[in-house]
C-alpha cells in the first residue's frame, strides 16, 4: 500500500491555521515589522509555507524515508561505491557534544581535542597510503582529484616545467578526466588490453615530456589489481611525470599493499567508501589527499600541525595552492573515519580488505555461471559481469535486470560502468555482507535472468516511481506524485 502522506507534498497536506506549537500571549509591547526593517527589504506577501501539525510532519518524513533503499534496510551491492554497513558506534562518536557542537571559528586552544584527532587521522592516512603528507580539506573524492592535480600543476610551475597532459585508462571513473580538464590539462585515454589491464604499448605511445600525471585506479574499476603498476610508475617517472592513484578502491588493499610503495606520488581516499562514512544521496563525503614530500609545500592551507604548545592550524605555507574548502573540510565524516580506523586497528583493517575480497570472489563464483565475467580468473573487492548474451538472445538488458532487482528488495548494482564492458553490472558486496545475504542475492539475480522479457522491460513493478526517462528526470525533476494518476 502506498502511503498518502509519503507521496503527497507537504503543501498538499497543508491546512490553513494548522500548527504544531502554541505560544503564550506575548507580555512585552509589540512593534510592527515595518518599524524594524526598512520596507524595501520586506517581501510583498508572507512565504507560502505549509501549515501542519507535528504528527503530519513526522509521518510525512518518516514515510518518505522508507521509499528509498539504504544500507540499513537492504543489500546494496553498488560497485565502485563500497556501500558497506556503517557501524552505529561511529555515529555516536561523531554526534558527541564535544564533536558536533564545536564552532569552526573557535580559537585553536579551545579545540585541541578535535585538532589532535585530525592530526592523528592525517598520520593514520599517511601510514595506510605510504605517502607521508596529508590534507584533510577536500570535500569529496572528486574534489581530492581536482585538488591534487592543482598541487601537481603548482609543483611543475615551481620547477619551471610546462606540462599540459593528463593520461588515464579507458576504465577510469569519469571524474578523473573531468578533474584534469577543470585544472586546464588536456586529457588522453589509455586503452586497456583484452585482459583489462593498462595497454603498455598504448601508454608508451602517448607518454612524452608534456605528460604531467598518469591517473590510475588500482585495483581498477574492473576489480583487477594491475601488477604492471610499478613498471608504469617507473616509465612515467623516467619522463618526469607523476602518478596519481584514485583511491576509491582502497577497501581491497588496506594493510596489504600501499600506493606509496607501488609508485604513486599522490592519491585521494574516499572515507565515505573505505572508512564507513554514510553516503548515497549526495553526501557529505570527504576526499583527503596524501602526497610525497616534494609535493607537500603545495597542499591546501591550513594544515593541522603540532608544536610544543599543542596543535594548531598552520596557515604559514607560502607555496600552498590556498583553500579548496571552508574551515577544516567535512569534519563529521573525518571523525567517523577516525573512529573506524582506530577501532579496527592495523590488523582489523587488513581483515576488512581480506574479507571484502573473499566476499566478492564468492559472489563472482556464483554469478559467473549465468552472467559471464569477462575479465580475470578472480577479482579483488568487486567484479564486472555482462548481460550481452541475454540482450542478444532475449533483448534483456543490464538496466532491465537492475530495475527488476528492486522488486525483490535488492538495491541494483552499478550498471553501464566501466564503459569498457557492454551491458555490464558492477557488483561489490563489501566485507559486511553475510554468506546468507550474498546467496539470496545470487539466487534472485539468477531468477531475474530467467524471467519473461516483457515483465523485465516494465520493471520495477512495486516502487512508487517505475521507469522515469533518466535524462529528463535528472534535468527536469518533478518532485510531485499525483494521487489520481499515480504518475509524476
Ligand atoms: C566514487 C569514485 C570517485 C569519486 O569520488 P566521490 O567521493 O564520489 O567524489 C572517483 N573514482 C572512483 C573509481 C570512484 O568509485
For the stretch 77-115, pLDDT in tens is 999 999 999 999 999 999 999 999 999 899 999 999 999
Cα of 308 from ligand 1 centre, angstroms: 38
Helix 175-182 with 141-158: angle, nearest 10 deg: 40
Cα of 102 from ligand 1 centre, angstroms: 29
Mutate to test the pocket of ligand 1, among 79, 80, 138 (most ligand atoms within 8 A of CB): 80
Q: Which domain holds residue 222?
A: 91-344
Note whether 368 and 314 are same-domain residues: no
CA gap 398, 424 in Å, rounded: 6
Per-residue cell: 355: 574479507
Per-residue pLDDT at 488: 43
Question: Does any domain span residue 488?
Answer: no
Question: Does any domain span residue 72?
Answer: no
Cα of 141 from ligand 1 centre, angstroms: 5
Per-residue pLDDT at 424: 98
SS3 143: helix
Counting atoms of ligand 1 from 1, which one is nearest the CA of 272? 7
Question: Does any domain span residue 77?
Answer: no
Per-residue pLDDT at 47: 87
Cα of 458 from ligand 1 centre, angstroms: 30
Whether 213 and 166 have beta carbons less than 8 Å apart is answered as yes
Per-residue pLDDT at 199: 98
Cα of 173 from ligand 1 centre, angstroms: 7
Note whether 241 and 303 are same-domain residues: yes
Question: Does any domain span residue 279?
Answer: yes
Low-confidence ranges of the chain (pLDDT < 50): 1, 483, 486-488
Cα of 177 from ligand 1 centre, angstroms: 12
CA gap 379, 396 in Å, rounded: 26
Which residues lie closer than 8 Å to 255 by C-beta, 6 or more apart? 128, 346, 347, 349, 350, 353
| Domain end among 344, 372, 394 | 344
Which residue's alpha carbon is nearest to atom 8 within ligand 1?
141
CA gap 257, 50 in Å, rounded: 55
Q: Describe the strand order of the beta sheet including 424-427 as a list of residue ranges.
A: 383-386, 424-427, 414-415
Note whether 97 and 219 are same-domain residues: yes
Note whether 219 and 258 are same-domain residues: yes
Cα of 83 from ligand 1 centre, angstroms: 12
CA gap 8, 52 in Å, rounded: 13
Number of Cβ within 10 Å of residue 235's Cβ equals 18
Element (H, E) at 157: helix 141-158
Domains held by the chain: number: 3
Element (H, E) at 234: helix 229-238
DSSP string across 159-222: TT----EEEEETTS-THHHHHHHHTT-EEEEEPBPTTSSB-HHHHHHH--TTEEEEEEESS-TT
Note whether 402 and 467 are same-domain residues: yes
Counting atoms of ligand 1 from 1, which one is nearest the CA of 82? 15
Torsion angles phi and psi, residue 339, rounded to 5: -60, -40
Note whether 155 and 121 are same-domain residues: yes
CA gap 289, 100 in Å, rounded: 24
CA angle 345, 226, 241 (to 5 degrees): 95
Question: Does any domain span residue 468?
Answer: yes
Buried b (16+ CB within 10 A) or exposed e, 71-96: beebbbbbbbbbbbebbeebeebbee
| Domain end among 300, 327, 344 | 344
| Domain end among 65, 100, 116 | 65
Note whether 155 and 294 are same-domain residues: yes
Hunting for cell 589491464 — which residue is that? 197
Counting atoms of ligand 1 from 1, which one is nearest the CA of 80? 15
Instruction: Establish how many alpha carbons lie within 13 A of residue 304's alpha carbon, considering only the half-sphere containing its beta carbon.
Output: 25
Question: Does any domain span residue 370?
Answer: yes
Note whether 445 and 379 are same-domain residues: yes
DSSP letter (8 states) at residue 460:
-
CA gap 308, 330 in Å, rounded: 27
- In Å, how far from its chain's centre is CA 61? 25
Note whether 128 and 264 are same-domain residues: yes
Note whether 95 and 59 are same-domain residues: no
Question: Does any domain span residue 80?
Answer: no
Note whether 228 and 371 are same-domain residues: no
Cα of 292 from ligand 1 centre, angstroms: 21
Q: What is the CATH number of the domain that holds 142?
A: 3.40.640.10
The proportion of the chain whose per-residue pLDDT surpasses 70, expressed as a percent, equals 96
Mutate to test the pocket of ligand 1, among 143, 148, 246, 270 (most ligand atoms within 8 A of CB): 270
Note whether 272 and 401 are same-domain residues: no
Question: Does any domain span residue 441?
Answer: yes
Q: What is the CATH number of the domain that holds 451?
A: 3.90.1150.10
Residues in contact with ligand 1 by the CB-under-6-Å rule are: 80, 140-142, 173, 175, 217, 221, 246, 248, 270, 285, 287
Amino acid at each position: 500500500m502506498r502511503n498518502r502522506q509519503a507521496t503527497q507534498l507537504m503543501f498538499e497536506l497543508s491546512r490553513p491555521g494548522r500548527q504544531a506549537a502554541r505560544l503564550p500571549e506575548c507580555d512585552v509591547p509589540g512593534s510592527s515589522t515595518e518599524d524594524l526593517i526598512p520596507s524595501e527589504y520586506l517581501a510583498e506577501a508572507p512565504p507560502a509555507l505549509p501549515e501542519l501539525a507535528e504528527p503530519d510532519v513526522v509521518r510525512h518524513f518518516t514515510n518518505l524515508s522508507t521509499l528509498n533503499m539504504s544500507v540499513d534496510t537492504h543489500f546494496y551491492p553498488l560497485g565502485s561505491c563500497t556501500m558497506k554497513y556503517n557501524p552505529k558506534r561511529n555515529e555516536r562518536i561523531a554526534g558527541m557534544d564535544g564533536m558536533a557542537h564545536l564552532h569552526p571559528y573557535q580559537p585553536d586552544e579551545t579545540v585541541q581535542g578535535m585538532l589532535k584527532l585530525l592530526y592523528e587521522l592525517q598520520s593514520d592516512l599517511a601510514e595506510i597510503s605510504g605517502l607521508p603528507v596529508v590534507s584533510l580539506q577536500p570535500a569529496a573524492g572528486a574534489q581530492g582529484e581536482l585538488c591534487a592535480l592543482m598541487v601537481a600543476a603548482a609543483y611543475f610551475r615551481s620547477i619551471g616545467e610546462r606540462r599540459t597532459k593528463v593520461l588515464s585508462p579507458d576504465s577510469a571513473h569519469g571524474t578523473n578526466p573531468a578533474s584534469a580538464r577543470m585544472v586546464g590539462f588536456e586529457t588522453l585515454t589509455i586503452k586497456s588490453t583484452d585482459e583489462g589491464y593498462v595497454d603498455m604499448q598504448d601508454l608508451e605511445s602517448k607518454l612524452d615530456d608534456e605528460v604531467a600525471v598518469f591517473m590510475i585506479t588500482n585495483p581498477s574499476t574492473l576489480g583487477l589489481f594491475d601488477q604492471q603498476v610499478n613498471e608504469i610508475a617507473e616509465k612515467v617517472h623516467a619522463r618526469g611525470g607523476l602518478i596519481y592513484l584514485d583511491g576509491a578502491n582502497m577497501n581491497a588493499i588496506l594493510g596489504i599493499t600501499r600506493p606509496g610503495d607501488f609508485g604513486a606520488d599522490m592519491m585521494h581516499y574516499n572515507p565515505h567508501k573505505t572508512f564507513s562514512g554514510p553516503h548515497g544521496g549526495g553526501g557529505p563525503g570527504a576526499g583527503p589527499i596524501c602526497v610525497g614530500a616534494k609535493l607537500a609545500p603545495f597542499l591546501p592551507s591550513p594544515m593541522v600541525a603540532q608544536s610544543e604548545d599543542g596543535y594548531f592550524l598552520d596557515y604559514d605555507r607560502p607555496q600552498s595552492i590556498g583553500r579548496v574548502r571552508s574551515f577544516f573540510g567535512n569534519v563529521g565524516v573525518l571523525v567517523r573515519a577516525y573512529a573506524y580506523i582506530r577501532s579496527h586497528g592495523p590488523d582489523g583493517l587488513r581483515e576488512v580488505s581480506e574479507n571484502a575480497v573473499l566476499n566478492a570472489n564468492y559472489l563472482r563464483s556464483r554469478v559467473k555461471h549465468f552472467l559471464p565475467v569477462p575479465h580475470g580468473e578472480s577479482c579483488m573487492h568487486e567484479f564486472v559481469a555482462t548481460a550481452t548474451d541475454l540482450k542478444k538472445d532475449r533483448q534483456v538488458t543490464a538496466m532491465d535486470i537492475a530495475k527488476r532487482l528492486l522488486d525483490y528488495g535488492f538495491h541494483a548494482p552499478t550498471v553501464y560502468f566501466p564503459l569498457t564492458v557492454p551491458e555490464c553490472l558492477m557488483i561489490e558486496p563489501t566485507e559486511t555482507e553475510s554468506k546468507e545475504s550474498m546467496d539470496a542475492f545470487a539466487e534472485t539475480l539468477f531468477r531475474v535472468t530467467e524471467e519473461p522479457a516483457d515483465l523485465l522491460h516494465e520493471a520495477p513493478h512495486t516502487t512508487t516511481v517505475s521507469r522515469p526517462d533518466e535524462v529528463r528526470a535528472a534535468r527536469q525533476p518533478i518532485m510531485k506524485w499525483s494521487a489520481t494518476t499515480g504518475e509524476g
